[in-house]
Structure formats: structure tokens, C-alpha cells
Structure 1
Amino acid sequence: MNTGIVTFATCGYAVINGLIGEQELAWARKMTDALVERYRSGEPSARAAGVSIGDASRQHPQRNPDVEPGQYSHEPFIIGDLVALEPGFARFLCQQSIWTCAARLLDCAPAEVLFHFSNITRKPGEIGPAVGWHRDADNRYFASDDGRTLRLLIPLQHMSAGNGGTAVVPGSHLHAETAIDTALSPDVPAAGCLALHSGTLHGGLPNRSRQNRDVIVIQFGVRSSHLRAHASEAMALSSREDFLKVVNA
């Protein structure tokens, strides 16, 4: 973990191996597969919390060339508000290892860490769209004025350049103007995570392999930050203690 903290501070990202256990990974896959099937079946709550491959491809055709949007209107690209859709995600999200990692990378006391939101972002084999280059600090969904937010990307399959894995520009969190010439795609094993500083420039190529690339994205912040954007998701701005109260109720 110490190596990860140093890398995160200097490069704006870190690969953390073994963040969750194999049992928790299997559980996350099972819940994710169930949500995907609910989305495909047209369940209103799942559809309302998501974006389809078809819609993403229609909005940004250059990010998913040779994919016909109309064929994938029921295939999810993003499914959000996980706890609202599947309460079992509350138990998954309150794992001590996840919160300890967030506190260390945010350089704050564990009690100061707050959950912001979570989603499943998918790049299914052969049809997964690219993700445009961006910095999470610039988003209008859930962001703080001081930029003290962190995203953990927990892949459910091994993530690499070969299956459209997230690419990062090392050190870009320290520079407002950064070219993508030095971008790289870290290999991240399933059950590990890719931690991203809110100022790190990142994106990703389409997935044209036969391997799926599904990740659980979790954003954390600190209690003292003033928020300029705040989505109303289940458990937003909750501490781990708040999660534990819900899980143990």
C-alpha cells in the first residue's frame, strides 16, 4: 500500500492489488450480472439509472465505430445508483479494505471519508465504446471545489489495454495543460483496483477483444469539502459507519 500511496501522489493514479477477496469478487459479479439482466429486460428502475451502449454510441459515434446503435439499445454501458437498485451493494461497498484505501490515498482520517456515488461501467467484448479524455474534477455530477475526491475502479475481469482498459496520463493531476502522448493503460487484476486522483487525465479505447471489461466505480471525498455538484443517489455523503448501520439493521 505504501508504494501505491507514493505512486498516487506523484503520478495521479495507483494500482492496488488484492483490494477485495475472491469471495467478494464473485459476489460483485453475481450482483452485476443480475443488474445487467434487469436492464436488458427493460425494468424501469434499472433503465432510469443507466445509459445503453446504443445511446452512448449514438451520442458519440466516433467512440464506437462500426457499431450500429439501434442494435444495442438494451445493452447497458453504465448502471448507476447501485445501492438503490440492489441493497446488497451496500454490504459490498462497506468493506473495510475499500475505505482504508480511500482514507490513505485522500490523506485523511478514516472518519472523514464520505461515499459519493457508485456505478457499473461496462465495455462488453467487441462492442464496448471508448471513453473520451477527461478529468473527474471537471464533472457536473458529483464534484468538490477543492478537488479532494478519489475514484476507485474495481475491475470484475482483468483490465488492460487489450480489453479497453482505462488509460491514464501520469502526472497530469499536477499540470493544467497536458498532452496524452505519455498515456498508458495499467494492467489491473480482477479484485484489485485502479485509483484515480480527480485531476488525472484519463480515457480509454473501444473494446474490440472478445473479453468483457466491467468495472465497479466508486467515488469518495472528504467531509470538509464544499460540493459544487451533488447527485441524489442512495447513501450519498454517507460514512462507513452509516453503511454499517444500514447493513446491520
Structure 2
Amino acid sequence: MPIDQDSFHLQGYARLSRAIEPVLIDSLCAAIDAIQSRVPRMSEAERARLVFEKDLPAHRRDDVQAQAVGDAIFILGEPCAFDPMFDALLDHPAIRDAARTLLASDALTVHFMNVTIKHPRFGRSIGWHRDFPNDYICPASSGFVRLMLCLDGMEEAMGATRFLPGSHRLSDAEALREKSEGTPPRPSDDEGMALECTAGDLVAIHPKVLHGGGINRSDRMRRNVVLQIGLASEPLVTTEREGVTGRLLS
């Protein structure tokens, strides 16, 4: 079943249920567990690809202090550099077909990949934001999509991603002006809709839809693989690059 284009264009997001088979989901979860377990033995270069929960402000994890979270990883950057299992996602038909459908093109390129982790009982909240424009890896226009693969599923108590439906309906110029003037909308934490998912669901996120998510107050891990994929005809205007940046989506 193809991803729902109508929902994506009307609401700013869409979900494809059980897009990725359980055996691959299990393998990716095992790979993340292995990466987390070897943090103490990592090189400086490897650690530089990670964002640790302890290094970020405590107020977004209910003031749980740094010493209580240990070496918990919040962002696992460039996962393909840690385990080739993640390369399988770049060749997966569900990823390819969703991106081609939503961007209406066969000429697509990967911008980046990461794993965003909200650990049980303290995994941090993420404030409301748009993905276009962003300061990390971004083209000049909103000709891209973010695909979020839910590895553990998401429930509201786990800090599920919340969306403000329809908030993507502004021009690129308006989004750029909002960013430059520092005047983004500031919805309350309980506005919008928390998108609940099962393991293996694929969520497509429009680059201009407002989204965020609460703290993981549950006893379950919440891990999502995030891929940004864009039109090959749209050059990047930011300077950061990853190992997968520029890779054509086969």
C-alpha cells in the first residue's frame, strides 16, 4: 500500500503502517543497543557523531540531572558509520517508494540519517519547530521530506511526535522570514495531535509542518530513525555533510 499523499498534503504528515518488516526492525534495535553499550570504549571521532542526553539542558527532561542519565545517547548521528545494517534502509523499497511518491520524482538524494532516542522516564521533550529551514543540512527550498521510522512504536506517554495539522501551509519565503526574525509560532505543549504508531510504521513529515514531542515518561524506549531525502535538482546551501549526503536513492 502506498503512503497517503492526500493526508501528507492536507495535514503535513502521513503514516504508512508496518512499512518495514519485523526482522529488520529487530536488527536495527540490536545495532543501537550494541552502539550504546560500547560508548565507554569509543574513539573521539565516534563520540563526535553522538549527542549525549547529559550534555543538554535538564529542563527538557523534567530536571533529571546529568549524573542520573549517564552516557545515554539522545542523537545517534551517521548510524551507517557505526553499523552497516542501517545501509539496508537506504535500499529499502518502502523508503524509496514513499520518498518518490511524496516528492513526485525519481531523482532523489539522501541528505542525512540519524537515530533519535528518548530513554525511559527521562527522554527529553522536543520543542515545536519546522524542518525547513534548518541549520544543519538544508536546500534553498522545501523540496525535501523527512521519513521517520518508528522502531519501538510511539504512544503519547512515550513522548510521541505531536503535529499541528495544516501548519505547513505557508510559503518558503514566509518560513524563511519566520526563522530569520526569530518569530516561530509557540503552541502549548498539548496542542495538535500526538501520532501514535506501532513498531515498523513509517511517518512522512512535511518540511514546514510544526511538530515536536513530550518527555518519555513511560518505562519503554522510544527510538526513531530519521532520514532526510530531497530532490537531486535542489543543491544544499548549508555546509555540513555526512557520509550518506549526496547518495542517490536507488
TM-score (norm 2): 0.88
Is contact 2:89-2:95 (8 Å) kept? Answer: no
Match for residue 79 of structure 1?
Answer: 76
The match for 2:130 among 110, 135, 141 is 135
- The CA deviation at 1:45 is 3.5
RMSD over aligned Cα, in angstroms? Answer: 1.8
Q: Structure 2: how far apart are the matches of 1:42 and 1:65?
A: 29
Structure 1 position 226, deviation (Å) = 2.6
* 1:7 alignment partner AA: S
Q: Which residue of 2 aligns with 1:180?
A: 187
Q: Tell me the equivalent position of 1:38.
A: 38
> Could you tell me whether the CA contact under 8 Å between 1:84 and 1:233 is conserved in 2?
no
Equivalent residue in structure 2 for 1:203, among 204, 207, 212: 212
Matches within 5 A, 1:14-25: 14-25=14-25
Tell me the distance in 2 between the aligned counterparts of 1:155 and 1:165: 10
- Stretches of structure 2 lacking an aligned partner (at least 5 in a row): 175-183
2:180 matched residue in structure 1 = none
The offset of 1:219, in angstroms, is 0.7
Structure 1 CA distance for aligned equivalents of residues 240 and 78 of structure 2: 10
Superposition map of 1:20-169 within 5 A: 20-56=20-56, 60-109=57-106, 112-169=107-164
Partner of 2:9: 9
For residues 101-133 of structure 1, the C-alpha deviation after alignment (integer angstroms, 9 at most, x for no partner) is 111011222xx1111111110001101000111
- The Cα offsets for residues 165-219 of structure 1, whole Å up to 9 and x where unpaired, read as 1111101110357563641111111101111011011111111111111111111
Residue range with higher mean Cα deviation, 32-41 or 114-123:
32-41
Q: Shift of the alpha carbon at 1:71? A: 2.9
Distance 1:139 1:107 in 2: 22
Structure 1 range deviating more: 10-19 or 64-73:
64-73
Deviation, structure 1 residue 135? 0.5
Q: Residues 41, 129 of structure 1: CA spacing in aligned structure 2 closer, same or farther, 3 A cutoff?
A: farther
Task: Report the secondary structure of 1:174's partner residue.
Answer: coil
* 8 Å Cα contact 1:156/1:216 also seen in 2: yes
Q: Is the 8 A contact 1:40 1:75 kept in 2?
A: no
For 1:147-179, what per-residue CA distance to the aligned partner results, in whole angstroms no more than 9, with x for missing partners?
Answer: 111111111111121200111110111035756
Aligned residues of 2:108 and 2:231 also touching (Cα < 8 A):
yes
**Alignment identity in percent?**
28
How big is each residue's C-alpha offset from its partner over 1:52-94, in whole Å with a ceiling of 9 and x where there is no partner? 11112xxx33211230113324110011011122223212321
| Contact 2:153–2:196, Cα closer than 8 Å, also in 1 | yes
The counterpart of 2:166, out of the listed 168, 171, 175, is 171
Q: Is the 8 A contact 1:39 1:75 kept in 2?
A: no
**Structure ranking higher on relative contact order (CA contacts 8 Å, 6+ apart):** 2
Runs of 4+ more than 6 Å apart = none
Q: Which has the higher helix share?
A: 1
Equivalent residue number for residue 237 of structure 2: 228
